[in-house]
Structure 1
Amino acid sequence: MSDDILLEVIATTPEDARIAAAAGANRIELIASQQEGGLTPPLDLIQQITAESPIPVNVMIRPHSRSFYYTPEELGQMVHDIRQIAAHTQASALVLGVLNASGQIDEPALQQLLAAADGLPVTFHRAFDEIADQEQALYTLSRYPSITRILTSGGQASVLDAKDTIIRLNRIAQQQQIGLIAGAGLTLESLDEFVRGTGVQEVHLGSAVRQDSNIHLPLDAKRIRQAKAALLVR
């Protein structure tokens, strides 16, 4: 195994962000409302955390958790938020995803959001997991240079139930030069075997690195260090 497996963890507060960096996480996904799967955090929080953090901070752009289909008004709010973040924070990247009523990538909406991002890198988030043909969706996303990563559980509630899919998607992603982040359902106990078995180079942890594995509790430095140790095992 390579020793450069990247660990991304979810943060919702400045304290989370400090713990993540100090414990050895490589990147933060900054969100609000973790119980809803992550929504756009307030601008002042983004400003504070991105100014303080010694590691990259990727910021969620998601106005609600009802679906990944957005009205023109909601898209307008997303464009506004993106422009504010791009202009007034030190965010490293944005995390977003948009689907149409048929459950496919909404390319016109996506192009609108990418234009607002003005070159800021983008991770297409787990809206990807609601798409029936993920391989075709990966090819579609790879046509956009600013989309540098896809966060996915392979279409399952837990990525541990999608190992074969992740292997296949990761192979295509490498060919298309887009990063694949595996997330959802990973535990400290499963991490080493999962990474060895799938070949992924980036993993995303949420509750697994929180106190008592509880999304409502703060990040746990010890658990983050355990995750890093598992990713460095050869």
Structure 2
Amino acid sequence: MLLEVIAMTPDEARTARRAGADRIELVSALSEGGLTPSLGCVLETLEAADGIPVNVMIRPHSRTFVYDEQDLRVMERDIRVLAETGIHAFVLGALTADHRIDTKALRRLLDAAGGKPVTFHRAFDEVLHQEEALETLKGFSSVTTVLTSGGLPSALDAIPKLRKLEALGRERNIAILAGSGLKMESLEAFIRSSGVRQVHFGTGVRQGGALDGNIDPMRIAAIKQIFADMELRGGLAT
């Protein structure tokens, strides 16, 4: 099992790492769904993370996941600069106006990334046919992970879809990272029912469950304890 925690600052990344997070997703503007952080923030966060993987969001604005030429040039330049910093992976996505994976835009961004791993973010939840979209992403070897709530606002309401995506992802060597609406109280049941092996927490590990709440290390530690208890009791359902 893997726990990814959203951080917006180096201090948040440090707190998450010390509490047991396995990976950091670094963003700015969490209230807008996460945008590209600054170079300085990335460099400081890498130091604060002290060796655990840091995945960096590449998203120039929150208006849409359909990007024009200027958007793509900005994203390519951000990627090329940040690829030299030592980050683990990029978090990005691009769609066409008819809600399909924009393969041309994606290829440009992956070329800029120079082979670094990529998580295709929750733009995936806006595609019309997720199984078809997963098959499309299979054609891009750098795309190793898909962040999704199964197409619904809360992943808790999309367990059958996530279980199907998890099975398809394993066949295609793409990890499904489940996020949005997850709660500690129901996490074990969710994992066992959906079969996912990676979970993504943002407000769920913040004080008061608020976008502007501080990361609560006790919540992260509690999630890691759930993982440990599951292993003792027999791990995941097949």
Q: Are residues 1:161 and 2:189 paired?
A: no
Deviation at 1:51, TM superposition (A): 3.1
Structure 2 residue ranges without an equivalent (≥5): 231-238
Q: Are residues 1:151 and 2:147 paired?
A: yes
**Which of 80, 91, 100 is the matching residue for 1:104?**
100
> SS of 1:63's equivalent?
coil
TM-score, length basis structure 2: 0.95
Alpha-carbon separation, structure 2, partners of 1:191 and 1:233? 12
Partner of 2:80: 83
CA offset digits 1:148-203 (Å, max 9, x no partner): 00000000000011000000000000011111100000011111110011111100
Q: Are residues 1:181 and 2:214 paired?
A: no
**Which of 203, 210, 220 is the matching residue for 1:224?**
220
RMSD: 0.8
> SS of 2:95's equivalent?
coil
> SS of 2:184's equivalent?
coil
> SS of 1:204's equivalent?
strand
Partner of 2:71: 74
CA offset digits 1:109-148 (Å, max 9, x no partner): 0000000000111000000000010001001101111100
Deviation at 1:90, TM superposition (A): 1.5
**Which of 50, 53, 65 is the matching residue for 1:56?**
53
Alpha-carbon separation, structure 2, partners of 1:206 and 1:231? 18
Alpha-carbon separation, structure 1, partners of 2:213 and 2:13? 14
Q: How does 1:28-47 map to 2 (within 5 A)?
A: 28-47=24-43
Alpha-carbon separation, structure 1, partners of 2:188 and 2:112? 38
Deviation at 1:227, TM superposition (A): 1.1
> SS of 1:190's equivalent?
helix
TM-score, length basis structure 1: 0.96
**Do the aligned residues in 2 keep the contact of 1:51 with 1:90 (CA within 8 Å)?**
no
> SS of 2:83's equivalent?
helix
**Which of 181, 199, 202 is the matching residue for 2:198?**
202
Deviation at 1:64, TM superposition (A): 0.5
**Do the aligned residues in 1 keep the contact of 2:155 with 2:179 (CA within 8 Å)?**
yes
Alpha-carbon separation, structure 1, partners of 2:158 and 2:127? 14
**Do the aligned residues in 2 keep the contact of 1:59 with 1:94 (CA within 8 Å)?**
yes
CA offset digits 1:29-48 (Å, max 9, x no partner): 00000000000000110011
Partner of 1:125: 121
Alpha-carbon separation, structure 2, partners of 1:166 and 1:233? 22
**Do the aligned residues in 1 keep the contact of 2:10 with 2:45 (CA within 8 Å)?**
yes
Q: Are residues 1:65 and 2:46 paired?
A: no
> SS of 2:147's equivalent?
strand
Partner of 1:141: 137
Alpha-carbon separation, structure 1, partners of 2:172 and 2:104? 22
Deviation at 1:232, TM superposition (A): 2.2
Consecutive aligned runs of 4 or more in structure 1 exceeding 4 Å deviation? none
Deviation at 1:229, TM superposition (A): 1.1
Alpha-carbon separation, structure 1, partners of 2:59 and 2:211? 19
Deviation at 1:228, TM superposition (A): 1.0
Alpha-carbon separation, structure 2, partners of 1:66 and 1:102? 16
Among all aligned residue pairs of Structure 1 and Structure 2, give the percentage whose two residues are the same amino acid. 48
Q: Are residues 1:13 and 2:19 paired?
A: no
